[in-house]
Every structure is written in C-alpha cells, then in structure tokens.
Structure 1
C-alpha cells in the first residue's frame, strides 16, 4: 500500500519516501528533537531513572524496536528527506489502515519488556487511556484511518514538511470515503484544523496536567494547499 516512487508534493525542497528499518536511528533522532520539551516524554523517560539503563543499551533497544515496527506489522511509515540530500531525514509519519485495530486491538503490544530507565506505569497507563478513548469514540467500528505518529525536525518546521507527510493518508481516506483519527499534541492542533480535523474530545493525562486533543477528519473532496 506504500508508494514505491518518491513524491515531491508541492514543495521541491523535500521528498516523501517509504521509511524502512535502516531509517530507525534517524527517525528516533528526529523524534528526540521534535518532542524534546514534551511533558509526556519527560514523564515516560524521567531523568531520575536515566542512570538505570546505560545510554548505549537504551539506544540499541529503541533502534531495534523501531526497526521492527518499520519492517512489518500494521504501520505504514514514511519519511521526509531533503531533495538535495536524501540522506537527511527531516520528518516522519506512521499510519494504520482501516481494520488494523480490529486485528491488533491496541497501538502497542501487551506485555512488552521495557528498560528500567522508563516509567512503565506511566507508559502503559497512557497507552491504555488512548485505547479507551478510541473505543469510546468508535464503539467497535474499525473503518477509519489512524495517524499513529507525525514528527518534524524543529529546524524544518513551518516549511511544509508535516503537510506533505499528511498527504498520503488523507488522500487514501478521501478516496475510500473514510474518516481519519488522531491524538494531537497541543502544538499540532492548528495544523490539523487547517486540514479539516475537528477536536471531538480532550484527554487529560499525567494527573490532569497534560491535555491530548482527540481529533477526527471526515472525508473531503479537496485537500487544502500543502505549503507551510
């Protein structure tokens, strides 16, 4: 279902390509930069626990985990790279097609062994909240596209990268007449609103100190301009 040829969309500076297992390290680095200030990230990977797992061991675990997700399963993953330097990854996105949750049941597999430097209770609790919210919204219906991840290197934000990464999934959903579902960061809400998403619920997590907007986009006949 992923495109086999690169696409330039409306911005000649970037190419959108399928993300593959060798891209795991670059995607992790991009995510680290994009969400460095996230309170959720700080809660799941607390500084007070960092010493419990050697940095190299933790990085190896993350790369292997990410590569496994890119290799198969239900995720349809993409990367944005510079047209003039394709080795430079500047953004990434991951989608789940309709029916994926009916097969998988959750965003992450249950029973995963986590490194000691992570707060497993916070991590698993947050994922359980996402599962409950999704079930509350869809009531067992799996006929929707899900944007599982979207991140852009801060150096390249507000240059059309996120919009270009959205194109593939939105086009798939519109062609099939299906809605798109996502959990946004507060910073991402304005972008998603521009592409027709509406906030249907707001999930409060981290003891009600952090809000996660739950958003849905109904199928549309035309995408807005993807620049910016």
Structure 2
C-alpha cells in the first residue's frame, strides 16, 4: 500500500468511497436522510463535495493505493491552517498559474451546481446548520492559542471492503509526519467509529463538537470528540521521529505523485 496525492480525475472514485464509508454514520443520517432511497443523488453529493474541497489551495486529498492492483482503497482530506511560512508554502505550491487554474475550475463547478437538479437525498436545512457548526468550531476551539497552526483532518474514508488493514492509520500518518516536520499540531472531529484509531495514534480529546445543538432536539445526540495530536518537540526541531501514543514511530507517510488539475 502506498500514498499519493489525488488528481481531480480521481474525485469520482474518492466520492464513491466516501459515500460507501459513511452511509451509516450518524452525522450523514441527519444531513442525507434520503441516502438509501436516492443513493445516486447521495453519491453525487459526495463527489461534488470532495472535488470542491480539492480545489482549495490549502487542502490536500491523499489517497491510499494498493500496489498490486492500483485500486484506490481510501482517502484523507487534510487542510493546512495557519499563517506561518509552512502554511504559506502549501497554499502557494504550484505557482500563480496553478492557483488561477484551480480558481477557474472552482467557478465552473459553482455554475454547474447552480443549474443542476437539487439532490433528493439532502436536507438543505441540516447541511446549512452543519456548515455553520464547522465555522463555529473554527472560530472557537480551533482558534485558541496554540491551535491555529495545524493540519486539520477534514475527513478520512476507507472503502468498507478494505477495512482493518491499517489503511486509516497510514492516511493519518501523512498529516502527523508533516505536522512533526513543521511543528504544527494535527486536529480533527472524530466519528464514533474512528475514535479508537485516533487515540491509538496519540490524539487526545480537547472538547465535544455538537453540530446540531439547538437545531432539532432529536439530532442533539449527534456529537463528536474534538481531538488534537501534538508533535514531539525534538521532531519539530528536526530530530527524532513522530510518535504514536505507544511511543512507536508512525508509518511512513511519504507521497508519490503530485497535485494536478486533471
């Protein structure tokens, strides 16, 4: 299994994996109540959202790929937050022409969405509330001192047919290794299914995210721990290796390939 950065041509596959991986997740049960009845709409929504995130200069979509078959088995969307030199480098990687290209593609996508049929799977009010909750978390917990400079794991998805093979940990290690090199923390909001993995890797809960609090009472039980991984001080200074909670060096998170606007 190896990692590489996604190309835009990978987004349909990434979206399909996300749709399968999260179909029974409590959060998506709220925002996509019609996901079983209108599965194609639900899947198309996933493809649209991962492509939209991939077009942001601060985001990197990292893929796990099987060496034997070249099948994409999982993905992680990492977002580099902060105003430090490393964050500036990630946002501007590829130069001005690449940024213009991605901006034009983003505008093209917005026009396409405007004239596309509305998804029958989604609850627009719940999605709007979720977007607000993400912004509130960014301005609240994640804006506190010591947390602005970070790699944020926006979402981690592994194809259900490839579960329990270490793929999730490999994808998380990409952000941890970059965080260790740059002296940046890693942050995330965990799904119920993912918490054990993150704790094993050394993440610690720093709060509880309740995206639907005050929205509809029946959804207020849908919460997620907000978790942080701190890089080893020695690694941040260029020595040693990033460690898991057990003190073991994390797996190699190097990436083959480059971010391309295909």
TM tier, smaller = 0.7 to 0.9
**Which is bigger in relative contact order (C-alpha 8 A, separation at least 6)?**
2
Once the two structures are overlaid, the 10-residue window that deviates more, 71-80 or 168-177, is: 71-80
What is the aligned partner in structure 2 of residue 77 from structure 1? Answer: 61
Runs of 4+ in 1 over 4 A off after TM superposition: 48-51, 58-62, 111-114
- Partner of residue 186, structure 2: 180
Counterpart-to-counterpart distance in 1, 2:49 and 2:184: 30
Q: What CA deviation, in whole Å up to 9, does each residue of 1:85-126 have, x standing for no partner? A: 11x1110011111327x999xxxxxx9869342211111211
Confirm whether residue 218 of structure 1 aligns to residue 205 of structure 2. Answer: no
Deviation at 1:35, TM superposition (A): 0.9
State how 1:57-76 maps to structure 2 within 5 Å: 62-76=46-60
Q: Specify which of 180, 191, 197 is matched with residue 191 of structure 1.
A: 197
Higher strand share: 1
- Is the radius of gyration larger for structure 1 or structure 2? 2
TM-score (norm 1): 0.77
Q: How does 1:1-228 map to 2 (within 5 A)?
A: 14-47=1-34, 55=40, 62-86=46-70, 88-99=71-82, 115-117=118-120, 118-139=122-143, 142-206=148-212, 207-220=219-232, 221=235, 222-223=242-243, 224=248
- C-alpha displacement of 1:64: 4.9
Please tell me whether the aligned partners of residues 15 and 44 of structure 2 are also in contact (alpha carbons under 8 angstroms): no
Q: Which runs of 5+ in 1 are unaligned?
A: 1-13, 105-110
Number of matched pairs: 203
8 Å CA contact 1:160, 1:226 repeated in 2: no
Gaps of 5+ in 2: 92-109, 213-218, 236-241, 252-262
Deviations 1:17-38 (Å, cap 9, x if unpaired)? 1111111111111111211211
CA deviation after TM superposition for structure 1 residue 204, in Å: 2.5
Distance 1:62 1:130, change over 3 A: closer
The change in CA–CA distance for 1:25 and 1:189 in structure 2 (over 3 A counts) is same
Note closer, same or farther for the CA distance 1:226–1:140 as it changes in structure 2 (3 Å cut): closer
Deviations 1:110-166 (A, max 9, x none): x98693422111112112112212322133663111111111111211211011111
What do the CA deviations read for 1:140-198 (whole angstroms, capped 9, x no partner)?
66311111111111121121101111122111111111211111101111111111111
TM-score (norm 2): 0.67
Q: 1:80 to 1:146 in 2, by over 3 A?
A: same
